[in-house]
């Protein structure tokens, strides 16, 4: 099964971002826009994981979550990977203590590795974001990044991490298969 560990923004934060993104979707229908139900902050992408690892993975993620405080977050600004002039991914950014968030991501990845589900992207620099759209071919999205630059959503406290299963297909679907609380901060 294809898995990742993430933080899911609350409905109010998703609604604010959706209102800001709606005119961008209308202006650029050629992009593959992600649905609001798919917006999440990936901490560790695990890829294909054998179901036999799942029980130990749950234990390890619970331990990882218990070692980290709840985190104040807000969706803010945007950007593109690898760059706005030839983008493959358009994303919304986050206002956060990036050091704490990176340590939480590293802890989730380490727990996955110890459970037997080594993240294929472990060791890469952690870049927190919410994917808004994907480009079939490299696209110039500088206009969209400029529009997102002024966006600043209402803050919230992320109080848990989640293990999510990704069902691929024409319309990808995400299924929450576990969640663990962070320490009350």
What pLDDT, on a 0 to 100 scale, did the predictor assign at position 121? 78
**Tell me: the pLDDT tens digits for 110-119?**
999 999 998 8
Cβ pair 44, 61 in contact under 8 A: no
Cβ pair 98, 23 in contact under 8 A: no
What pLDDT, on a 0 to 100 scale, did the predictor assign at position 118? 83
Using DSSP, state whether 57 is helix, strand or coil: helix
**Residue 25's pLDDT band (boundaries 50, 70, 90)?**
very high
**Residue 167's pLDDT band (boundaries 50, 70, 90)?**
confident
Q: What is the mean pLDDT of the chain?
A: 94
Mean pLDDT score, 34-48: 94
**Tell me: the pLDDT tens digits for 70-83?**
999 999 999 999 99
Percentage, residues of the chain above pLDDT 90 = 90
* Dihedral (CA of 27, 31, 35, 38) sign: negative
Using DSSP, state whether 98 is helix, strand or coil: helix
* Dihedral (CA of 162, 166, 172, 173) sign: negative
Q: How many CB atoms lie under 10 A from the CB of residue 86?
A: 14
What domains are there in the chain, each with its CATH number? 2-181 (3.90.1140.10)
CA distance 56 to 61: 9
CA distance 165 to 106: 19
Using DSSP, state whether 7 is helix, strand or coil: strand
Instruction: Output the pTM of the full model.
Output: 0.93
Cβ pair 182, 68 in contact under 8 A: yes
User: Would you state the structure tokens that stand for residue 38, as one six-digit string?
Assistant: 């798919």
**Residue 168's pLDDT band (boundaries 50, 70, 90)?**
confident
Of residues 125 and 79, more confidence is placed in 79
What pLDDT, on a 0 to 100 scale, did the predictor assign at position 185? 65
**Tell me: the pLDDT tens digits for 87-124?**
999 999 999 999 999 999 999 999 999 999 988 877 78
Calculate Rg over the CA atoms of the chain: 16
Q: Where are the alpha helices (DSSP H) in the chain?
A: 11-27, 54-66, 98-115, 142-149
Q: Flag whether pLDDT at 144 surpasses 90.
A: yes
Mean pLDDT score, 4-32: 97
Q: What is the 3-state secondary structure (H, E, C) of 100-126?
A: HHHHHHHHHHHHHHHHCCCCCCCCCCC
Q: Flag whether pLDDT at 171 surpasses 80.
A: no
């Amino acid at each position: 099964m294809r898995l990742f560990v993430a933080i899911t923004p609350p409905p109010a934060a998703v609604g604010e971002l959706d209102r800001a993104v709606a005119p961008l979707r209308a202006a650029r229908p050629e992009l593959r826009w992600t649905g609001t139900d798919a917006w999440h902050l990936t901490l560790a992408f695990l890829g294909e994981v054998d179901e036999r690892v799942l029980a130990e993975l749950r234990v390890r993620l619970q331990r990882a979550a218990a070692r980290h405080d709840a985190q104040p977050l807000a969706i803010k600004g945007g950007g593109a990977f690898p760059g706005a002039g030839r983008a493959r991914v358009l994303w919304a950014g986050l206002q956060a203590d990036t050091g704490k968030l990176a340590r939480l991501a590293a802890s989730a990845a380490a727990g996955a590795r110890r459970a037997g589900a080594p993240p294929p992207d472990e060791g890469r620099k952690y870049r927190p974001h919410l994917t808004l759209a994907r480009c079939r071919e490299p696209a110039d999205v500088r206009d969209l990044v400029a529009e997102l630059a002024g966006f600043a959503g209402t803050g919230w406290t992320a109080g848990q991490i989640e293990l999510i299963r990704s069902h691929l297909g024409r319309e990808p679907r995400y299924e929450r298969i576990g969640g663990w609380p962070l320490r009350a901060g």
